[in-house]
């Protein structure tokens, strides 16, 4: 692999509340789930003390963005009402804006109503939508009006049924066509800052996930930044026959491959380790470039 030709070569800037975040060098999104049933950290962060400590840990580790999620999207997770998602995330956003008013914050939601509230009430910088508008189509109009960066992910089906829908005739073509259509819709609405997330683990088998990682560089055809979320997922622990708790080493390996294949953002549970990956891969890249 010629690393110098595959990563860190495109200038990407996204507008976060008037400040430009440069994605031409990889960034880290630290995960802060406040759900009882997420596959790895579900139920860990409900008390204010635990949330505050985890937030401090993510920031100290070098997170560029904190992603707050109140809706579990693991396979087969229960669908919850808007009110429950709202009640989970608002106290966390209160805490973040009180302790770290300048922090770049993303909210992981597919709901237009939630997106509007968190941007207007908490000046949330980024909306991270697992369904790319499929589960709540009005979110596209909301993003266009709010003018915040939008992460759109590929997911086949919903968290409730995606495991049963992991069938493709040509997976890469289907995902590329999916993003092409969504991109056109968003551009016509005037959305400027779009980030792609191929959706590792969402309506895809373990083999699909490795095929997706191998072909990650193909998404550069869109000339948009790409986010990768493979932290502690089943493509790691099922392959190694271990648990999510034992999957940090595997996460590090696959994050390295993702960076070398063009990832601009790593969405992770373990920020310090991801920061080390970026530093080492960047050292490798510059050594290759200057050789």
Q: Give yes or no: 238 in active site.
A: no
Give me the catalytic one of 182, 233, 275, 285: 233
pLDDT at 288: 66
Cα distance between residue 176 and residue 221, in whole Å: 9
Closest to 104 measured CA to CA, from 171, 172, 32: 32
For tokens 């910088």, name the residue.
125
| Cβ burial, residue 28 (10 Å; 0-12/13-18/19+) | buried
pLDDT at 1: 35
**CB atoms closer than 10 angstroms to residue 37:** 13
pLDDT at 40: 42
* Neighbour-count burial for 242-266, b at 16+ CB within 10 Å, e otherwise: eebeebbebbbebbbbbbbbbbbbb
pLDDT at 3: 40
pLDDT at 105: 98
pLDDT at 74: 73
Q: Give yes or no: 233 in active site.
A: yes
pLDDT at 39: 42
Instruction: Please list the rounded mean pLDDT of every run of 10 residues in the chain (291 residues).
Output: 46 92 95 70 62 92 96 79 94 94 96 98 98 97 98 92 90 98 98 97 96 97 97 96 96 98 97 97 83 59
Give me the catalytic one of 156, 182, 232, 267: 267
- Does the pTM surpass 0.85? The reply is yes
- The pair of three-digit structure tokens given for residue 88, joined into one six-digit string: 């989970």
């Amino acid at each position: 692999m010629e690393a110098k030709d595959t990563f860190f070569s495109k200038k990407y800037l996204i507008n976060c509340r008037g400040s430009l975040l440069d994605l031409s060098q990889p960034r880290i999104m630290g995960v802060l789930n406040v759900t009882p049933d997420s596959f790895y950290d579900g139920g860990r962060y409900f008390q204010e003390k635990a949330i505050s400590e985890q937030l401090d840990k993510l920031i100290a580790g070098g997170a560029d963005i904190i992603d707050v999620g109140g809706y579990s999207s693991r396979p087969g997770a229960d669908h919850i009402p808007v009110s429950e998602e709202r009640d989970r995330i608002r106290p966390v956003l209160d805490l973040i804006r009180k302790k770290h008013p300048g922090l770049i914050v993303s909210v992981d939601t597919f709901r237009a109503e939630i997106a509007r509230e968190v941007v207007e009430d908490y000046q949330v910088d980024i909306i991270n939508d697992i369904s790319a508008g499929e589960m709540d189509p009005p979110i596209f109009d909301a993003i266009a009006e709010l003018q915040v960066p939008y992460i759109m992910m590929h997911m086949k089906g919903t968290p409730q049924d995606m495991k049963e829908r992991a069938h493709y005739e040509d997976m890469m073509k289907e995902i590329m066509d999916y993003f092409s259509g969504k991109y056109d819709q968003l551009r016509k609405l005037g959305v400027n800052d779009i980030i792609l997330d191929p959706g590792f683990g969402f309506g895809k088998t373990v083999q699909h996930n490795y095929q997706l990682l191998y072909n990650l560089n193909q998404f550069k055809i869109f000339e948009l930044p790409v986010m990768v979320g493979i932290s502690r997922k089943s493509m790691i622990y099922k392959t190694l026959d271990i648990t999510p708790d034992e999957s940090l080493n595997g996460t590090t390996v696959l994050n390295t491959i993702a960076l070398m294949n063009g990832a601009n953002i790593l969405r992770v549970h373990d920020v310090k380790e991801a920061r080390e990956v970026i530093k080492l891969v960047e050292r490798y890249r510059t050594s290759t470039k200057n050789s």
